[in-house]
Amino acid sequence: MLLLFQPILYSYFRSSCSWRVRIALNIKGIEYEYKAVHLLNNGGEQRSEDYSSKNPMQQVPSLETSNGDVLTQSLPIMEYLEEQYPSPSLLPKDSIQRAQIRALAEMINSGIQPLQNLTVLQYLKEDQKAEWSKHWIHNGFVALEKTLEKTSGKYCFGDNITLVDCCLPPQVFNANRFKVDMAEFPVISRINEDLGKIEAFKLAQPSQQPDCPSDLK
Ligand SMILES: N[C@@H](CCC(=O)N[C@@H](CS)C(=O)NCC(=O)O)C(=O)O
Ligand SMILES: *[C@@H]1O[C@H](CO)[C@@H](O)[C@H](O)[C@H]1NC(C)=O
Ligand SMILES: *[C@@H]1O[C@H](CO)[C@@H](O)[C@H](O)[C@H]1NC(C)=O
């Protein structure tokens, strides 16, 4: 097959930001090569000289296009995919709606996820980590739930799958990991459950990735 022309996704099975991009790639039916970057092995492979030269933030995901361009940051990567592979679309045409969808995605991307990234957690004492993560996810989910009450239809924004739906399941997975009480968030929970039934979302789950250790599958 024409392996040469496949983009490469640098990913870690449990990374929520890599997971977002895996969903978008699957929805759009884009075949890609999976390259695992183990965030915990050898002091973190993301910090190797080779990988740091691709992603100076030393984070996953990165997407290397068939031209050799390396893109970083999950949302800009998804926006790139949306522009290059417009169908099926992850954003409507209407500018107001696009801004509203991006705002929802940013609630997760900048309002919740950064506070529980590895570097931030490593800065805390062992017995503070769980409480800290739970607090900030809960805090963000209160706002997200309130917004989704207005914007959601079948999914986060109306009845079509959009960028924010790609961000939701990974964040709910982390919420469960940190024992956030999801009963408080019925809209988030309902949408997450429905998204979980879709093949593109199933295939993007951590347990389905080649670097998922067999005891976690
Ligand atoms: N804003 C970035 C965040 C990326 C990020 O936080 N990646 C995490 C995994 S989800 C990471 O690589 N952490 C490695 C580390 O903290 O050393 C994005 O959306 O791509
Ligand atoms: C939802 O998707 C359908 C099919 O792709 C499209 O025809 C319709 O315009 C979309 N709705 C919105 C609000 O973007
Ligand atoms: C973690 O999140 C903080 C806050 O957004 C950011 O400044 C930092 O670069 C992130 N670091 C990593 C490696 O995830």
What are 154-191's pLDDT values in tens digits? 999 999 999 999 999 999 999 999 999 999 999 999 99
Pairwise CA distance, residues 166 & 19, whole Å: 8
Inside any domain, residue 53: yes
Q: Which domain holds residue 77?
A: 8-88
Structural domains of the chain, count: 2
- CA-nearest of 127, 210, 144, 133 to 174 is 133
115-128 pLDDT, tens per residue?
Answer: 987 778 888 999 99
| Ligand that lies nearest to the alpha carbon of residue 114, given by its number in the listed order | 3
pLDDT of residue 42: 80
Query: Quick one: pLDDT band at residue 2, thresholds 50, 70, 90?
Result: very low
| C-alpha span between 212 and 160 (Å, rounded) | 30
Question: How many Å apart are CA 209 and CA 202, to the nearest integer?
Answer: 11
CA nearest neighbour of 203 among 4, 1, 28: 28
Q: Which of 70, 88, 106 is the last residue of a domain?
A: 88
Residue 152: give its domain's CATH number.
Answer: 1.20.1050.10
CA of 116 to the centre of ligand 3 (A): 9
**How close is the Cα of 118 to the center of ligand 3, in Å?**
8
